[in-house]
Amino acid sequence: MSNESLKELLVDEIKDLYNAENQLIKALPKMAKAAKNEELKAAFQEHLEQTKEHATRLEKVFELLEETAKGKVCPAMKGLIEEGAEGIEERDASAVRDAQLIGSAQRIEHYEIAAYGTVRTLAETLGEDEVAELLEETLDEEGETDKKLTSIAESVNEEALEEGAEDEEEGEEDEKEKAKAGSKEED
Q: Which residues of this protein are in contact with Fe ion, per CB under 5 A? A: 51, 54, 112, 142
| Residue closer to Fe ion (CB basis): 128 or 142 | 142
Q: Which amino acid is at 145?
A: T
| Residue closer to Fe ion (CB basis): 16 or 112 | 112
* Cα 159 to Cα 98: distance, rounded to the nearest angstrom: 10
* Cα 41 to Cα 36: distance, rounded to the nearest angstrom: 7
Question: In the bound complex, what is the minimum distance in angstroms from residue 103's beta carbon to Fe ion?
Answer: 15
Which residues have CB under 8 Å from 154's CB, separation 6+?
none
Contact 60, 83 (CB under 8 A): no
* Cα 33 to Cα 36: distance, rounded to the nearest angstrom: 8
Question: In the bound complex, what is the minimum distance in angstroms from residue 57's beta carbon to Fe ion?
Answer: 9
Question: In the bound complex, what is the minimum distance in angstroms from residue 50's beta carbon to Fe ion?
Answer: 7
CB atoms within 10 A of CB 43: 21
State which residue has the least CB distance to Fe ion: 54
| Residue closer to Fe ion (CB basis): 21 or 160 | 21
Question: In the bound complex, what is the minimum distance in angstroms from residue 105's beta carbon to Fe ion?
Answer: 8
| Residue closer to Fe ion (CB basis): 98 or 142 | 142
